[in-house]
Amino acid sequence: MIVAVVKNNKKLLEKIVDLLAFFNTPFKVFEDFTEEFFTLMKTSKKKIYILDIEPSNILWLDITKEIRQYDWKSVIIIMSAYDMPIRVFNKIQIFAFINILDNFENQLKDSIEDAIDVLYVKNKTTSIKIIKSGKQILEKKDILYIIREKRSNKCIVKTTNGIFTIYKSLKELEKEFGFERTHKSCIVNMDKVIKIDENKIRFSNGEVIDYVSKKIY
């Protein structure tokens, strides 16, 4: 998934970037509706569009209509200092309208959370998980292994990008991701494994762990 931001206001852009960093999701900033923007629009990636618009510039309406010609599944969030008729948004399936003069940051944070739910949870994918610091996107392809923390109801997820905490059982995660259990407290992404012997698991990034059960291997 990627977030496409079309924004000219530098102060607001800084706040948007900070929010996107909280969600740990890749993003691309465009100063205008450039050729690069349209190239991204036509890709098959799930997208959240955050568009800063002025009602006097009719181009934004044409752009959103064009987005919908190529991409009905992604989410469009409109930001403006001006109110606009709801009927306009209904025609082009606008997910959220945010008035930048009214509690902008909280509105955008809530809208991004809801958008992620729509793109991932409702589509029954396994890329989004609820973790201690908020909602973060964990791509299955980035996960090395998951370990159940002792005497706790949470699991530790080690990825190529860092370490995350998930409040789900190991059994649930094993079912969701389809990873292989090598130990009663560990499941691994076999796509990232180079070698398993009776004592160690070696991953493609060079990391080695010792969560190997003789009852399983």
Domains and CATH numbers, the chain: 2-121 (3.40.50.2300), 128-209 (2.40.50.1020)
- The predicted pLDDT at position 132 comes to 40
Using CA atoms, how far residue 45 sits from 10, 49, 108, 171, in Å, is 26, 12, 21, 29
Q: Would you say the C-alpha torsion 79, 124, 71, 44 has a positive or negative sign?
A: positive
Question: How confident is the prediction along the chain (217 residues), in pLDDT tens digits per residue?
Answer: 889 998 767 778 888 888 888 777 789 999 888 899 999 999 988 899 998 876 555 577 788 888 888 888 888 888 887 666 555 555 557 777 888 887 888 888 888 888 877 776 544 444 434 344 445 667 788 899 999 988 777 888 998 878 888 878 899 889 888 899 999 999 999 999 999 887 899 999 989 999 888 665 5
Neighbours of 195 (CB within 10 A): 9
Tokens (6 digits) for 163: 């370490």
Q: Are strands 2-6 and 27-30 parallel, antiparallel or unpaired?
A: parallel
- The predicted pLDDT at position 127 comes to 41
